[in-house]
């Protein structure tokens, strides 16, 4: 432990040397003279402090012994010496009275550990030895603080303890204390492995411990902790104990760990299988390499080893053997979450590179006991990570997962599929350039496959840190969206621009890209429709509430693909629509949304689908891949247009905008140009500059930037134009 850790505990317990080591008062019981073991009298010590000879000078137990000596000096002015327990040649003779710190070769130390038993620490006198022992460095340090605060007496020049002293107890932090843990360090596979274990421990503790865990990795964690510690926000008064990494956190969280799951480094899929098991069985996941370093610390835990368990003897693919075993033994038995399954990229190509983008998110899966997998949706080509499998084996296994989830959830509502696919494994990307499937097509295929089986997607989750921590916030139960204060009347020959700012339909964009756009100095100059799927209120409720609370009057919130989650409406079976509808109504109401401007469906939606959509998006619906504009009952239905901007270059954006605007003149009844423009992960400055440049290049045109509510009102006016 570092100095800051010791100082924090001392302050926390109000047991610093200056406070604890005061003359006996009413807070301590009187000890009769016959029950006293005197350690110092008239300036002469009768004892020595003993530590193990087998530990180094930097070992936590050595530091604890130094603390004891320093505290006694502060109390009495006398500084005792520290000796090791070695009594052989060159060692020190054993004294009658000794203070034994931690594990030593003295038999009294062994007795103290027996007294401690399954508790966290013990403070006891055994014969003429005062023993202070702890289950780990943190517990030993806590025991020393308690000893000086409650059990050591110094009055009239005499320092003593009760010779009947025998205390054992459990160490507990106050419930209001949170842990702020430094992110994984190192490189390559070691960093990857530590990140997996840390995420598992974080997920367990955020579910089971009163002391919640936030991993802070500097710029990678986007400064959100600082945001929520601002005055008036939910962590403003919270106390955080700073820890240096996994090892420090394990000292606090080890008691919550029941299982260690060891994955097979030669079968990447077993990393995900291990995470499934760990979520269900309160476990942490380690590679065999990492476990060797923690074997002694975790020796009392249940060990589940997946090493050499899967060889392809069932399906011809070790990868699929592993997942099918997990389906049979965990998912199908109802042991996993029915709210979430997690499509997490396994260790293939990521581990050796130390890429932790899909390890830091695993706290969410562990927290929810979710089933975890990584499979291809295609049956006409083998995935790059398993090229020798029989064609379609991955997809068969994937469909087993969806089929099982349908059986488990058909009567209780849709479930969320968290995560994306690894582009190089399953689509035309990087080293997989010969694939016949593009990335967008692969994304659509996933959405198409899960929708009929009651699933919806939360796609881009890589580097979405601390989901299990942020998800604890329960304040964002009802948000208030902006509405325009006046209605615009449609006029001919006017260019109307409405900017859809997406795609924030998944956790990583909400976590990182939206915050970057939100901090832009030109936000608020013109109306923007910020596309945030309301189902993300489960994952990042505090962030979404922050966006709502800091919105300008020109900031409006709408859903992204497709509504409260990414699904394809045309592929929701009739019998599942009631539950999907209820899910969407709930989250649209919580987010105070009434517009769904990016309904994505590659097959096209029909009137039956619209009958459902208008129940939670009555003020407007826009579709992708369909250009038709019409009214469905009282709801305008339009098209979400692309190509109206450039993410970085406003000059290029202005040129593109001109082309879109001219085309829209020809499609309206009124002779106006009505443009709902999809802008992905760009900033208000880029859009404002694009509009400025377009106006400069077209001084003869009247250009009006409208909010999305008025945009759909203009669509309705145009359809009724005479």
Region for 145 from its dihedrals, namely left if φ exceeds 0, alpha if ψ lies in -120 to 50, beta otherwise: alpha
Provide mean pLDDT across the span 105-127.
96
Instruction: State pLDDT tens for residues 518-556.
Output: 999 999 999 999 999 999 999 999 999 999 999 999 999
324 plus 360 within the same structural domain: yes
| β-pair type (36-41, 158-162) | antiparallel
Q: Is the pLDDT of residue 96 over 60?
A: yes
What integer pLDDT is reported at residue 643 of this predicted model?
61
Alpha carbons 559 and 529: distance in angstroms, whole number: 9
End-to-end Cα spacing for the chain: 78
Phi, psi angle pair for 245, to nearest 5°: 160, -160
Separation CA 209–CA 468 (nearest Å):
12
Rounded-to-integer distance, Cα 135 and Cα 251, Å:
9
Asked whether the predicted pLDDT for residue 9 surpasses 80, the reply is no
Give the dihedral sign, CA 678/684/688/689: negative
Task: Pick the closest to residue 287 from 189, 386, 385 (CA basis).
Answer: 189
What integer pLDDT is reported at residue 319 of this predicted model?
98
Which of 149, 169, 189 marks a domain boundary?
A: 169
Q: Is residue 475 part of a domain?
A: no
* pLDDT-derived band at 627, boundaries 50, 70, 90: confident
Helix (H, G, I), strand (E, B) or coil at 375: coil
What pLDDT is attached to residue 218?
87
Structural domain contains residue 516: yes
Instruction: Report, in angstroms and rounded to the nearest whole number, the Rg of the chain calculated over CA atoms.
Output: 32
Would you tell me the crossing angle of helices 137-146 and 60-76 to the nearest 10 degrees? 10
Residue 7 has pLDDT above 60, yes or no: no
164 shares its domain with 238: no
Average pLDDT (143-163) is: 93
Same domain as 628, residue 509: yes
Residue 329 shares a structural domain with residue 351: yes
pLDDT beyond 80 at 21: no
What pLDDT does 220 receive?
85
94 and 157 housed in the same domain: yes
Mean pLDDT of 284-297: 96
Q: Give the total number of structural domains in the chain.
A: 3
Helices 188-208, 246-253: inter-axial angle, 10-degree rounding: 30
pTM of the model: 0.85
Range of the domain at 583: 494-719
Q: How far apart, in whole angstroms, are the C-alpha atoms of residue 256 and residue 398?
A: 32
**388, 324 contact by CB (below 8 A):** no
Task: Decide if 480 is inside a domain.
Answer: no
Please give the average per-residue pLDDT across 683-711, as a whole number.
97
Instruction: Look at residue 198 in the predicted model and tell me its pLDDT.
Output: 98
Residue 476 lies in a domain: no
DSSP states along 615-648: TT-TTEEEEES----EEETTEEEEE-B--S--SS
Beta strands in 505-594 (DSSP E): 528-532, 555-558
* 129-134/97-101 β-pairing: parallel
Residue 218: count other Cβ atoms within 10 Å of its Cβ: 9
91 with 225, same domain?
Answer: no
| Out of 380-394, 459-473, 572-586, 630-644, least confident range | 630-644
Reported residue count of the chain is 722
Residue 216: predicted pLDDT: 95
Residues 49 and 81 occupy one common structural domain: yes
> Do 431 and 391 share a structural domain?
yes
Residue 461 lies in a domain: yes
CATH of the domain at 587: 3.20.20.490
Choose the final residue of a domain: 105, 136, 169.
169
- How far CA 574 is from CA of 580, 584, 598, in Å, comes to 10, 16, 22
Per-residue model confidence (pLDDT) at position 295: 95
Range of lowest pLDDT (17-26, 218-227, 286-295, 664-673):
17-26
Residues 141 and 197 in one domain: no
Q: Is the pLDDT of residue 381 over 70?
A: yes
What tens digit of pLDDT does each residue of 230-257 get? 999 999 999 999 999 999 999 899 999 9
pLDDT of residue 282: 98
Question: 173-228 pLDDT, tens per residue?
Answer: 777 799 999 999 899 999 999 999 999 999 999 999 999 999 999 888 889 999 99
Q: Are residues 103 and 38 in the same domain?
A: yes
Same domain, 380 and 499: no
Supply the pLDDT for residue 171: 83
- Arithmetic mean of pLDDT, 142-168: 93
Mean pLDDT over each residue of the chain, to the nearest integer: 93
Where among 127, 149, 169 does a domain terminate? 169
Does the pLDDT at position 5 exceed 60? no
pLDDT score recorded for residue 1: 34
Is position 249 within any domain?
A: no
Predicted pLDDT of residue 136: 84
Taking each continuous run of H as one helix and of E as one strand, the counts in the chain are 24, 29
Q: Is residue 247 domain-resident?
A: no
- Percentage of the chain modeled with pLDDT above 70: 96
Residue 10: the pLDDT is 38
For strands 340-343 and 371-373, give the pairing: parallel
What CATH number is given to the structural domain containing 9? Answer: 3.30.379.10
| 325 and 380 inside one domain | yes
pLDDT of residue 60: 87
Q: Give the single-character DSSP code of 220.
A: G
Look at residue 566 and tell me whether its pLDDT is greater than 90. Answer: yes
Residue 637 pLDDT > 90? yes
Phi, psi dihedrals of residue 43, rounded to the nearest 5°:
80, 0
Structural domain contains residue 149? yes
What distances in angstroms separate CA 436 from CA 256, 379, 393, 431, 581, one per listed residue?
47, 12, 17, 13, 35
DSSP track, 545-558: HHHHHT--TTEEEE
What is the model's pLDDT at position 644?
Answer: 64
| Tens of pLDDT, residues 395-423 | 999 999 999 999 999 999 999 999 999 99
Asked if residues 580 and 572 have their Cβ atoms less than 8 Å apart, the reply is: yes
CB contact at 8 A, 99 and 50: yes
User: Has residue 264 got a pLDDT over 60?
Assistant: yes
Q: Of 292-301, 489-498, 536-545, 641-650, which gets the smallest average pLDDT?
A: 641-650
């Amino acid at each position: 432990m570092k100095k800051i850790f010791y100082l924090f505990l001392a302050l926390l317990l109000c047991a610093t040397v200056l406070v604890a080591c005061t003359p006996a008062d009413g807070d301590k019981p009187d000890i009769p003279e016959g029950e006293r073991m005197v350690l110092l009298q008239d300036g002469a010590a009768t004892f020595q402090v003993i530590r193990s000879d087998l530990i180094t000078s930097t070992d936590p137990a050595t530091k604890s012994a130094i603390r004891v000596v320093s505290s006694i000096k502060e109390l009495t002015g006398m500084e005792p010496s520290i000796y090791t327990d070695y009594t052989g040649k060159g060692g020190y003779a054993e004294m009658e009275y000794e203070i034994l710190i931690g594990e030593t070769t003295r038999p009294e130390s062994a007795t103290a550990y027996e007294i401690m038993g399954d508790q966290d620490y013990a403070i006891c006198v055994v014969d003429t030895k005062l023993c202070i022992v702890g289950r780990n460095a943190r517990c030993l340090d806590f025991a020393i603080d308690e000893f000086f605060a409650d059990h050591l007496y110094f009055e009239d020049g005499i320092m003593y303890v009760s010779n009947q002293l025998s205390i054992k107890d459990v160490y507990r932090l106050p419930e209001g204390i949170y842990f702020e843990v430094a992110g994984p360090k190192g490189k390559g596979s070691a960093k990857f492995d530590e990140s997996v274990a840390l995420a598992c421990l974080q997920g367990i503790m955020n579910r089971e411990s009163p002391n919640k865990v936030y991993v802070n990795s500097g710029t990678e964690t986007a400064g959100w902790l600082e945001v929520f510690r601002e005055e008036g926000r939910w962590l403003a008064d919270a106390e955080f104990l700073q820890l240096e990494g996994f090892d420090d956190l394990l000292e606090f969280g080890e008691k919550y760990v029941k299982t260690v799951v060891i994955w097979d480094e030669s079968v990447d899929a077993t990393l995900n299988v291990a995470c499934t098991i760990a979520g269900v069985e309160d476990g942490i996941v380690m590679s065999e390499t990492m476990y060797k370093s923690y074997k002694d610390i975790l020796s009392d835990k249940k060990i589940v080893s997946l090493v050499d368990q899967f060889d392809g003897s069932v399906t011809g693919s070790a990868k699929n053997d592993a997942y099918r075993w997990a389906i049979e033994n965990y998912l199908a038995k109802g042991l996993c979450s029915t709210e979430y399954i997690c499509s997490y990229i396994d260790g293939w190509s990521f581990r050796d590179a130390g890429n932790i983008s899909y390890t830091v998110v695993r706290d969410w899966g562990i927290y929810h006991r979710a089933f975890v997998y990584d499979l291809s949706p295609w049956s006409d080509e083998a995935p790059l990570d398993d090229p020798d499998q029989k064609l379609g084996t991955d997809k068969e296994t994937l469909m087993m997962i969806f089929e099982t989830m349908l059986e488990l959830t058909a009567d209780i509502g849709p479930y969320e599929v968290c995560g994306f696919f690894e582009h190089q494994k399953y689509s035309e990307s990087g080293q997989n350039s010969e694939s016949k499937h593009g990335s967008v097509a692969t994304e659509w295929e996933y959405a198409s496959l899960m929708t009929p089986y009651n699933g919806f997607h939360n796609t881009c989750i890589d580097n979405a840190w601390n989901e299990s921590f942020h998800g604890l916030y329960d304040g964002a139960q009802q948000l208030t969206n902006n509405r325009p204060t006046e209605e615009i009347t449609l006029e001919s020959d006017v260019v109307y621009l409405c900017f859809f700012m997406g795609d924030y339909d998944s956790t990583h964009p909400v976590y990182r890209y939206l915050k970057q756009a939100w901090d832009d100095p030109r936000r608020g100059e013109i109306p923007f429709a910020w596309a945030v799927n309301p189902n993300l209120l489960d994952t990042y409720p505090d962030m979404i509430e922050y966006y709502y609370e800091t919105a300008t009057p020109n900031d409006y919130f709408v859903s992204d693909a497709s509504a409260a989650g990414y699904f394809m409406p045309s592929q929701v079976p009739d019998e599942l629509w009631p539950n999907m509808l209820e899910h969407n109504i709930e989250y649209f109401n919580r987010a105070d949304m009434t517009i769904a401007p990016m309904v994505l469906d590659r097959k096209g939606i029909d009137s039956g689908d619209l009958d459902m959509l208008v129940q939670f998006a009555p003020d407007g619906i826009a579709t992708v891949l369909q250009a038709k504009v019409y009214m469905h009952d009282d709801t305008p239905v339009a098209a979400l247009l692309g190509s109206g901007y450039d993410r970085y270059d406003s000059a290029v954006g202005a040129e593109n905008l001109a082309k879109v605007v001219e085309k829209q003149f020809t499609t309206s009844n009124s002779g106006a140009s009505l443009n709902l423009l999809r802008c992905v992960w760009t900033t208000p400055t880029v859009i404002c500059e694009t509009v400025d440049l377009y106006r400069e290049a077209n001084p003869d045109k009247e250009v009006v930037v409208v909010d999305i509510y008025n945009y759909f009102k203009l669509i309705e006016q145009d359809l009724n134009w005479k």
